[in-house]
A and B are shown apart, each in its own frame.
Chain A
């Protein structure tokens, strides 16, 4: 029973509508029942989360979705949702058995994750509820661009235990976004019952006190109750421009998935109890009871359904498998190409600008250049404040609060809604200040990692166009959470470019390239250099630095130092000290870590033979290990001694200046290491 308008009922709904629903329900259930057979026959579908028992709400979610207009984020149990939204039976099976022509991912993502990005049925993570933030981000774009559309996040009730789902709902409430959270409650998160998730059985009621959020409960097992609830939810989201949460009470008629055995934790009585409420059987009984269809008519539809599934099955089996040669496709999309500065170098004369000025002026220039550019983050904009270090100062005043705005203190929300807003249109470019300081970024890591998969996982159909700016590194006496740098942990994750400039001109040029490129870029800013005269440089107004192009900052023949970020300046100072002793170092500033300028590294090794890698992050598993290994593998014969690494020890960064000095690289440490290598 619900308190929403009764638009649909067994007596008044047109017969053709009832028939359409019965076909969808019958074909969908036939595939849901057939899915385990593919695994038994070793064809595929090794992950299948049966939807049986969720039939009413899944039918309804799909029916209210308007393709290419609304945005739908189905979860891993949403087979009928996807089918009701327009996917064909064949497309469902192509996904189940991971064929190259699967519209969701071409066999790259786990089975039972149905999607069709070209219709805005989005490819989502297996991480439960992760897409809630994406749905909120898409709704932000819907609102900004004035579309009459909704974003729908579909998920199980256990996902509401996740902190980032709270962040998403809080954000939708705060921003009054047209998003529907469709919560399919079957009482279990795999084997974990609701009582072990939260104190409130009707979990949506946990959110009753949120402003601007309407909560609707419905019977997800009942077609009419679900249709009425979702119809009202969409009407309300469109007309009131507010988020709506629909909690649909479902049953899980089977195990969680084919790797689960629910008889281990559910009694026979309970299993029979939920089977008794088979939504499809109920709908069929009602069609007969209220004389909307005869037994013969339904039997004919069921026979048709059987034939449709058989045809789809045969066609899907013939479809090609993914090509192993394709694994390198769609790791990263094409970057913006600079015609004027193909190597990211310039000969400009004039007044030097600080690194912070270079970033600020480039941000403003790009916001003027592209009206579909947005920026948000913590401390982003409040009167004269513009970013924690004022990098974005003046942006909100010039470009307005709709393009430049504060985010809640919720790093995952900042990242996740950037991903989601990107899904609205490929023309959008987003910059986020991912955290107040780099080592506050960890709460956003689940969104960072998930976003890193998107381009590959969707088989090239979606890439988040997001630049993540992080004030990084030490030398400011900040200790833990304020003086660490985190690139060593990030460079092992494919799918994101990582840049780490050390001079103002390179910072400006890399930022411009990041903001004009498709895909994700992690833009690490050495905050100690924001206002340091050493990092100041002349910056051409239109400067661009391509990704993967290193820059030689000092030439020499005795020692080759590969470095980036804060360490570039330490290395240059050490080189200056050594030069006074007649020892000439060449200092290569990588600028980009991913992609890395391997050619420049190997050329320097070949030229000089003695090599040192210097970075601020820990030596242990730091990025220097990757550089050193490449040199070993590809330029061993060119070496004139072992590659030496200078960086931080395997400890956190201490707060007291004496501790920080003992831990972070210094000019003296680099000088001492250089002398050893030079003496080898």
Chain B
């Protein structure tokens, strides 16, 4: 199975988190690292397993580079793909839309046939509402570098450990 991680190379925190995830995965999986700013339909379809870096911008939006890819994504058949999503978000500054980007992307890819993995517990976050929650869990890994930077490494390590169990 081929695996890729896609995040914006122009971003700061999302890219750094992506690098940490790559580091944590180590040599257990062969991982292509792709720039989300230039993502094409072909690149997106070329891997069986995907890790997407999807931060939340403003009051609950996808970043522009993902938003611009949505019309293409809407026409893709993602059956057979396994997708995990991580996203940076700010629970103090934006408690009403905490990590909405993760939820928006998760539903987009699942609606087109992808299998979502890497759901995480909502414990130890404080916020009001989030489109990223389903059945009491985040639909991916949520990192808050603004307010809980010290927890990020452990959260990434635990998440990657879970991913390794499902990614082949």
Contacts and interface: CB of A to CB of B under 8 A. Distances in A.
Given A219-B67, A249-B61, 17 more contacts: A1-B61, A1-B62, A1-B104, A11-B71, A201-B59, A202-B96, A205-B96, A221-B64, A249-B59, A277-B58, A282-B64, A282-B68, A285-B68, A286-B68, A286-B71, A289-B68, A290-B72
A531 interface: no
A9 interface: yes
Given A1-B104, A201-B96, A222 B67 contact: yes
B64 A276 contact: yes
Contacts of A205: 96
Interface in B126-160: none
Interface string B52-91: 0000011111101001100110010000000000000000
B7 interface: no
Interface in B21-61: 57-61
Nearest to B69: A289
Interface residues of B, number: 16
Contacts of B67: 219, 222, 282
A219 B61 contact: yes
A277 B57 contact: yes
Interface in A262-318: 276-277, 282, 285-286, 289-290
A7 to B, nearest CB: 14
A6 to B, nearest CB: 9
Contacts of B94: 201
Contacts of A11: 71, 75
Interface in B77-114: 94, 96-97, 104
A656 to B, nearest CB: 53
* Most chain A Cβ neighbours within 10 Å, of B61, B64, B96: B64
Contacts of A249: 58-59, 61
28 contacts: A1-B104, A9-B71, A10-B71, A11-B71, A11-B75, A185-B59, A201-B59, A201-B94, A201-B96, A201-B97, A202-B60, A202-B96, A205-B96, A219-B61, A219-B67, A222-B67, A249-B58, A249-B59, A249-B61, A276-B64, A277-B58, A277-B64, A282-B64, A282-B67, A289-B68, A289-B72, A290-B71, A290-B72
A202 B64 contact: no
A276 B11 CA distance: 11
B42 to A, nearest CB: 13
A165 interface: no
Contacts of A289: 68, 72
Contacts of B59: 185, 201-202, 249
Interface string A192-219: 0000000011100100000000000001
A251 interface: yes
Given A9-B71, A277-B64, A289-B68, A200 B96 contact: yes
A398 to B, nearest CB: 51
Interface in A6-20: 9-11
Contacts of A285: 68
Contacts of A219: 61, 67
Interface of B: 57-62, 64, 67-68, 71-72, 75, 94, 96-97, 104
A205 B96 CA distance: 11
Nearest to A251: B58
Contacts of B71: 9-11, 286, 290
Interface residues of A, number: 21
B126 to A, nearest CB: 16
Contacts of A1: 61-62, 104
A124 B130 CA distance: 38
B44 to A, nearest CB: 14
Nearest to B62: A1
B6 to A, nearest CB: 16
Q: Which 10 residue pairs are nearest across A and B when measured between Cβ atoms?
A: A10-B71, A277-B64, A201-B96, A201-B59, A282-B64, A249-B58, A249-B59, A286-B68, A1-B104, A11-B71
Contacts of B57: 277
Interface in A167-211: 185, 200-202, 205
Contacts of A200: 96
Contacts of B60: 202
A276 B75 CA distance: 26
Contacts of B61: 1, 219, 249
Nearest to B103: A1
A200 B75 CA distance: 35
B19 to A, nearest CB: 20
Contacts of A276: 64
A282 B59 CA distance: 18
A669 B94 CA distance: 67
A286 B64 CA distance: 11
A202 B75 CA distance: 31
Nearest to B12: A269
Nearest to A282: B64
Nearest to B104: A1
B58 to A, nearest CB: 5
Nearest to B68: A286
Nearest to A185: B59
Nearest to A9: B71
A286 B66 CA distance: 12
Nearest to A203: B59
Contacts of B62: 1
A326 to B, nearest CB: 46
A290 B71 CA distance: 9
A56 to B, nearest CB: 11
Nearest to A281: B64
Contacts of B64: 221, 276-277, 282
Contacts of A185: 59
A249 B97 CA distance: 13
A221 B67 CA distance: 11
Interface in A500-527: none
Contacts of A277: 57-58, 64
A195 B94 CA distance: 10
A534 B67 CA distance: 76
Contacts of B72: 289-290
A221 B57 CA distance: 12
A94 B96 CA distance: 43
Contacts of B75: 11
Contacts of B96: 200-202, 205
A202 B59 CA distance: 7
A243 to B, nearest CB: 22
B37 to A, nearest CB: 10
B145 to A, nearest CB: 13
A437 B61 CA distance: 50
Contacts of B104: 1
A286 B67 CA distance: 10
Contacts of A10: 71
A251 B58 CA distance: 9
A17 to B, nearest CB: 16
Nearest to A285: B68
